[in-house]
Amino acid sequence: MIKDLREYLAMLEGQGNLDRIETPVGLSSIPSIMAAQEKKGKTVLIENIEGYRYSVVNNIFGRREFLASVFGCSREEVMREFADRYDHPIKPVMVDEGPVQEVVLTGDEVDVERFPFIVHCAKDAGRYITGGMVIAKDPETGVRNLSFNRMQLKGPRKTGFRMSPTQDLESYYRKAVAKNQPLEIAVLIGSHPLDLLAAACGPARDVDELDISGGLRREPVELVKCRTVDLEVPAYAEIVLEGQINPGELEDEGPFGDFMEFYIPVMKNHIFHINAVTMRKDPMIQVIRAGSTDDVTLLGTPREAQLYRVLRGNNVDVRAINLMVCKNYLTGAISIRKQIENEAKNALMAAFGSFKFLKNCVIVDHDVDVFDPADIWWALSTRLRAERGVMVVPNAVGFGRDVHGIHTAKLGIDATVPLDAWDEFERVTIYNPDGE
């Protein structure tokens, strides 16, 4: 089993899926390099950045096949393997020391501006931490939570910090405010890929997502105590920023190019004060561009597993799920082997009910490749009967940053063949007298 990000990158490199860039590059050149690597479907490690000591890694989730390699399955089975491991959590264990604390910086030694964080989009307000995984504890129960929050660099020991009103972290912050105390957090940069996926799961609030990560890894996550805050962090991360968010302290933050490919305007957001930085001797800085394949695969994979669990629980014969049809996870395609007429409509309702961000969903037959947009459009053009197969759910709750508002309509499409007419819709295959 892969122990950390470094072993994961070694696996990708052995497969020919990682490119190293050793020639000197400027910080401002990194976004275009990342975009080119995304088109190639390869992870990139940029090792020589002018003016900075540390390397940058991007696109670690550049293709679904990367996760299939970790799980030891096909790309179609990633959702099933993820769901099965999710259902068998393993609690973390404490260790006395770990590589993430090979270097410890406190006080005036702390300067996050020395790390090669980048400006991602043309109108972004500045450099952002986008690949950070945040760990916090519920001030009342002590349950740990993992989350992703954008952080605009505002000084050597200070960043902006965006919390969504519906995040568990925001509820932790409100509890801390009620106690008139700061909320301590730790931000991990360069985490085990399965830890990142666990952070994107969104389980019930009494579930420790590090337990989920242990299940995904099939071994307990090793944790070390932070040096300046009462938190525990994975021992094999690259970098940890320790600090707190103070009650009622807000500043302007943004604009920022979000994953829906719109700019989020300037808004009042929290401030993260950094007390300490612990790290490996030669850490890698993971960056993720919002809306990239990297980002959408990270956010979408756990939701595919979530949909699979729900549909399986309703005895739907699910063959594949793809929430990465577009450059976000708000539109999806599901292939099923239909067992009863109109089953697709029930599956659509179950999908919308279990994942509120899902806005548009197409259900196709088992012979359609949901990972090929052209095949999905083929099913729409040949098998959809719009007068029967199109379902609109008005006034439902959707994604909070949808430009049309959180209360929006959902579109469901049944593009499956009538069960009694399957012979009429059989797909042609290439003639091969020597094979099947």
The answer to whether the CB of 208 falls within 8 A of the CB of 143 is yes
The answer to whether the CB of 227 falls within 8 A of the CB of 101 is yes
Could you give the percent of the chain with pLDDT greater than 90? Answer: 86
Provide the pLDDT for residue 167. 85
The answer to whether the CB of 92 falls within 8 A of the CB of 222 is yes
pLDDT in tens, 219-229: 999 999 999 99
Measuring CA to CA, how many Å separate 24 from each of 20, 21, 27, 40, 49?
A: 12, 8, 10, 21, 6
How many residues would you count in the chain?
A: 436
**Tokens 């945040």 label which residue?**
134
The answer to whether the CB of 389 falls within 8 A of the CB of 342 is no
Enumerate the β-bridge partners of residue 103.
Answer: 279
pLDDT in tens, 331-340: 999 999 999 9
Q: What is the CA radius of gyration of the chain?
A: 23
What is the rounded CA–CA span in Å between residue 234 and residue 3?
11
Q: How many other CB atoms are there within 10 angstroms of residue 169's CB atom? A: 23
Instruction: Using alpha carbons, select from 302, 324, 299, 131 the residue that is nearest to residue 207.
Output: 302
Amino acid, res. 4: D
pLDDT in tens, 113-146: 999 999 999 999 999 999 999 999 999 999 999 9
Token output for 86 = 């999710």
Residue 106 has pLDDT above 90, yes or no: yes
Q: Is 142 left (phi over 0), alpha (psi -120 to 50) or beta?
A: left
3-state SS string over 356-420? CCCCEEEEEECCCCCCCHHHHHHHHHHCCCHHHHEEEEEEEECCCCCCCCCEEEEEEEEECCCHH
Measuring CA to CA, how many Å separate 3 from each of 177, 217, 220, 221?
A: 37, 9, 11, 9
DSSP designation for 202:
-
What is the rounded CA–CA span in Å between residue 72 and residue 82?
11
Question: Span 169-190, mean pLDDT?
Answer: 96
pLDDT in tens, 359-379: 999 999 999 999 999 999 999
pTM of the model: 0.93
Residue 436 has pLDDT above 80, yes or no: no
The answer to whether the CB of 257 falls within 8 A of the CB of 124 is yes
Q: Which of 258, 317, 375, 402 is catalytic?
A: 258
pLDDT in tens, 386-408: 999 999 999 988 887 777 878 88
> Euclidean distance between the first and final Cα of the chain, in Å?
37
Residue 200 has pLDDT above 90, yes or no: yes
Residue 191 has pLDDT above 90, yes or no: yes
What is the rounded CA–CA span in Å between residue 161 and residue 47?
28
Sign of the C-alpha dihedral, residues 85, 86, 89, 92? positive
- Whether 108 is catalytic is no
Which helix (H) or strand (E) segment is 198 a member of? Answer: helix 193-199
DSSP designation for 250:
E
**Tokens 């972290």 label which residue?**
169
Could you give the percent of the chain with pLDDT greater than 70? Answer: 100
Measuring CA to CA, how many Å separate 231 from each of 68, 205, 223, 226, 339?
A: 32, 18, 10, 6, 50
Measuring CA to CA, how many Å separate 148 from each of 2, 49, 167, 267, 394?
A: 22, 26, 10, 18, 30
What is the rounded CA–CA span in Å between residue 285 and residue 190?
6
Mean predicted lDDT score pLDDT of the chain: 94
DSSP designation for 262:
S
Which of the four pLDDT bands, split at 50, 70 and 90, describes residue 435? low
Question: Span 292-308, mean pLDDT?
Answer: 94
pLDDT in tens, 246-291: 999 999 999 999 888 889 999 999 999 999 999 999 999 999 999 8
Question: Span 26-36, mean pLDDT?
Answer: 96
Which of the four pLDDT bands, split at 50, 70 and 90, describes residue 429? confident
The strand pair at 158-161 and 43-46 is best described as unpaired
